Structure 1
Amino acid sequence: MYSHLFSEITIQGLTLKNRLTMAPLYLGYAGEGGTVSRMMLEHYRLMAQSGVAMIVVENATVEHPTGSGSNRTLRADTDDNLDGLRQLAEAIKQEGALACLQINHAGRFAHATGDPVAPSAVKTFGRFPKALEKTEIGRITDQYVKAAARAKTAGFDMVELHGGTGYLLAQFLSPRTNQRTDEYGGSLENRQRFALKVVARVKAAVGSVPVGYRFLADEWMPDGLHLEESKPFAKRLARAGIAYISVMGGTYESFSLPDIVQRSKQEGYMLDLAAAIRSVVDVPVIAAGRLATGTVADRAIAEEKTDLIGLARVLWADPQWPKKVRDGRDADILDCSPDCGDACMQMVMKGRPAFCVAWTAEKMKAWKAKFV
């Protein structure tokens, strides 16, 4: 059953035992100040025990606090956190999964005490970020390189650059948020310059460690980034030697739009974006977005709309998902309900570690005993 879903695939010399990955998912499980907490270790150990081939640890900042989304954002900007990162990579790999660390700069979405930084001073939720000087762009590029090198030193098998959700790499690419008039703004050729520099520098720093890319295919904003520009950018990433492209849609400014809220309740609501990107590149593509059943996930691969499946909240809600699907027990899966009002996101937006409101009382009690 589901022969496509449970077949191997090799990415730049690393063999994934199936087509299932854990997509990056921020739950607020890091300690205050971005440390690797016991809660985070136990969470990722449990996720790795699920049977997925690769775990992508979410959103490790390359610069704190100006690049951090919150005070519970994992830090990869300091050697002080290196031992914790080593423990995290080891916990994942001990359970038979490949470990990948996603590194990020939040840009205008950072929760810094001062002004956040961005390509341009475009108003963001009531405040204006500071437009980056060229020298600052170079410094932040260096920060990506150092964070990637720490991921390698810590023992992660792969590194993922976070170019999704409207964060800094995507902010440079978007015509909506990049209004610069220098060589980093204007044409698509210029707007993609920063991301391609980061890719080249990071790849040079980590050598044989594969570097993937979390990819914003469409901002779902009228004046934002759309497929007509993201598709040629994907081709440039492939030519630059990126290991895989993990496709998503939307940003914090579009997620709450009524039509996007309704769209996000539909099964496989981002699959069309993954298929569009896969049609123009020759590197593996990861699709995400409520691919909640084995039937839908396997068909997506069989129909060549994607190469891999990224499970985020689906896997968190039920870490037994891969085993239940493989055993034909789809009816036993604890579903991540689209009707909960994104309760988990509301929790993390308030600075609280998240739990799933779909969990049974017994599972909730076990979660508190283990993680709290």
Structure 2
Amino acid sequence: MSHLLKPLEIKNLKLKNRLVMPPLATEKSKEYGRISKELLDYYDEKSEGGHISLIIVEHAFVSEEGRASKGQMSIADDSIIDDLKKLANIIHSNGSKAVMQINHAGIKANKENTGLDPVGPSLLEGENKELSIEGIKDIVEKFKVAALRAKKAGFDGVEIHAAHGYLLSQFFSPITNKRNDEYGGAVLSRIKIHLEVIKAVIDAVGKDYPVLIRFGASDYMDGGSTIEDGKVAAKEFQKAGVDILDISGGLCGAVVQGLDGQGYFAPLSEAIKDVVSIPVILTGGITDASVAEKLLKEEKADLIGVGRAILRDSTWAKKAIESLK
């Protein structure tokens, strides 16, 4: 059997193949982050036929101060749960599994959108407020209740966003984390907030509910986090109870200058896969089913995320699967 077509079971999450649609911000939400008909139609189109085994829905903000953009989706209060149920139901009715990604933008939040000063691990050129210990604890709690909302809305799992220069990525990176307390310095201190978020989320949703983390395992920048840092962190995330590691870039984002070709994060996902036993997702420029198949065969990852190709062509997954049968 094709590697891409093999099923995979993680706790209660039964995946019929190894194909994942990664979270791609659409900016289609309404005012206050409410879910629009346009957003529902978008996910209906992308999940049609159920050819994509797992759809990770784009990041939703856990609190208004952590909102990344005007059109971002909210998961910041209980009033959104009914709307989220509609989204989960559409994806399920088409035959795919659905995971909700939750996020805090940190210093990447825009005061023009939120009306609030951005917060981050450290004060950077006076552009943001440095989080106090109490502020960190409050954000951990916000992630916790957001994860519970995702479960109540019927999603099959929740993904903590710790990549692409958002808040948890900012704590992981020595470039943006200059703290001298328990949350700064060595790798284990810089991921203290990650481990607290993971514990809080699992406490809320239960140990049988799948928890993923999108992890920016390297900044690919001078003075930033390295692959070695990423390996240390990944092992701790597994110990903390994370079920799937979704590997991407840190402060560099999802696209890295100098990294090209299909599966350009493969060296990163392979390094992480070598030190953990939980499934690893690889994304990054993959457009051909044959390449996805090769990456799985060579054990660069356990699951393959295809974003931009599916964004351009909603029938990509159907054609890819047919080509491998």
Q: Shorter-chain TM-score category?
A: over 0.9
How many percent of aligned residue pairs carry the same amino acid? 39
Provide the residue aligned with 1:348 in structure 2.
Answer: none
CA contact (8 A) 1:61 1:75 kept: yes
Is 1:232 the counterpart of 2:228? The answer is no
The CA deviation at 1:107 is: 0.3
Amino acid at match of 1:228: E
Pick the aligned partner of 2:310 from 315, 322, 325: 315
User: What is residue 192 of structure 2 aligned with on the other side?
Assistant: 193
- State the partner residue of 2:84: 85
CA-CA distance at 1:72 after TM superposition: 1.0
Which residue pairs with 1:183 in the alignment? Answer: 182
Query: Which amino acid in 1 is paired with 2:118?
Result: P
Counterpart in the other structure of 1:117:
119
User: With structure 1 as the length reference, what TM-score do the two structures score?
Assistant: 0.83
1:189 alignment partner AA: L
- Answer yes or no: is the 8 Å Cα contact 1:69–1:110 preserved in 2: yes
Task: Calculate the TM-score normalised by the size of structure 2.
Answer: 0.94
* 1:297 partnered with 2:299: no
C-alpha separation between the residues in 2 aligned to 1:225 and 1:90?
38
Contact 2:254 2:284 in 1 (8 A): no
Provide closer, same or farther for how the CA distance between residues 275 and 195 of structure 1 changes in structure 2, counting only shifts above 3 A. Answer: same
Q: What is the identity, as a one-letter code, of the residue corresponding to 2:92? A: K
Distance 1:253 1:284, change over 3 A: closer
1:101 counterpart residue number: 100
Q: Which has the larger radius of gyration?
A: 1
CA 1:87 to 1:194, structure 2 compared with 1: closer, same or farther past 3 Å?
same
Contact 1:68–1:112 (CA under 8 A) maintained in structure 2 = no
Distance 2:271 2:253 in 1: 23
Query: Which secondary structure state, in structure 1, belongs to the residue aligned with residue 56 of structure 2?
Result: strand
2:31 match: secondary structure: coil
Aligned partner letter, 2:310: L
For structure 2, the 5+ residue unaligned runs are: none
- Which segment is superposed worse, 111-120 or 157-166? 111-120
Q: Deviations over 1:286-345 (max 9, x none)?
A: 00001110111001111111000011111111111121122229xxxxxxxxxxxxxxxx
Paired residue type of 2:117? D
The 1:284/1:254 distance shift into structure 2, 3 A limit, reads: closer
How many Å separate the matches in 2 of 1:112 and 1:156? 30
SS in 2 for 1:295: helix
SS in 2 for 1:323: helix
C-alpha distance 318-302 of structure 1, shift in aligned 2 (>3 A): same
**Distance in 2, Cα, partners of 1:33 & 1:109:** 18
Q: Are 2:38 and 1:42 equivalent residues in the alignment?
A: no
What is the CA distance between 1:102 and its match in structure 2? 0.2
Residues paired across the two proteins, number: 320
Shift of 1:253: 7.3
Query: What residue number does 1:29 align with?
Result: 28
Deviations 1:174-224 (A, max 9, x none): 111111111111111211111000000101100121100001111111111
Return the letter of the residue paired with 1:263: L
Would you say the 8 A contact 1:118–1:129 is kept in 2?
Answer: yes
Q: 2:56 matched to 1:56?
A: yes
Secondary structure of the 2:69 match is coil
Aligned equivalent of 2:245 = 245
Task: Say if 2:111 and 2:118, in contact at 8 Å, map to a contact too.
Answer: yes
Aligned pairs for 1:166-177 (under 5 A) are: 166-177=165-176
Structure 1 counterpart of 2:244, which letter? Y
Deviation digits for residues 212-266 of structure 1 (CA, Å, limit 9, x no counterpart): 00011111111111111110100001111101000012435795xxxx34534x2
* Aligned match for 1:306, one of 287, 290, 301: 301
- Report the 3-state secondary structure (helix = DSSP H, G, I; strand = E; otherwise coil) of the residue aligned with 1:218: coil
Distance 1:158 1:254 in 2: 22
